[in-house]
Amino acid sequence: MNKAILLDRDGVINQERGDYTYRREDFSVLPDVIPALRVLQEMGYMLIIISNQSGIAKGLFTIADVEKLHSYLVAYLDDNDVRIKEIYYCPHHPEYSSCICRKPDSQLIEKALARFNIDPAKSFFIGDKERDILAGKKAGVQGILIDSNFSLMKAIEPIIKGEKK
């Protein structure tokens, strides 16, 4: 079985602005994301992004807007030798529709685990909201809760130390 690092997007990969981020001009990858993801990748972890994108349900932006931004992100990371296996996102919001894919529910995580034959016990979910950690826990994945816009390199220190044992 494979192992993976599941990552929330806003506040973990890119700058949390306190507003919806769906346009390229508002999107900024955090400073040490590239080196941190490279380390994890070299350690044999698949990299998968799991994100709530409720602005779609609210009519603030479209699926096409999110897909365009994600295409940019994947290409940017790829240009920096970081391979994202997949990006899963929930377009729903509880005030507009119901679903089981919106974090803190775990459907998107479970989908990734099944699709890529990932061992949840050897994997981690890094997020900046309690709902990220709860979603991971429901799927059997250990969570690492960080502050928004926190150093991803510092956040992965427990993973690195754990692997060296």
Mark whether 8 is an active-site residue.
Answer: yes
pLDDT recorded at residue 156: 96
What the block records as the tokens of 165 is 């044992």
Residue 45: strand, helix, or coil: strand
Mark whether 26 is an active-site residue.
Answer: no
pLDDT recorded at residue 164: 55
Active-site pick, 8, 105, 128, 132: 8
Domains with residue ranges and CATH for the chain: 3-164 (3.40.50.1000)
pLDDT in tens, the chain (165 residues): 999 999 999 999 999 998 999 999 999 999 999 999 999 999 999 999 999 999 999 999 999 999 999 999 999 999 999 999 999 999 999 888 889 999 999 999 999 999 999 999 999 999 999 999 999 999 999 999 999 999 999 999 999 988 754
pLDDT recorded at residue 165: 44
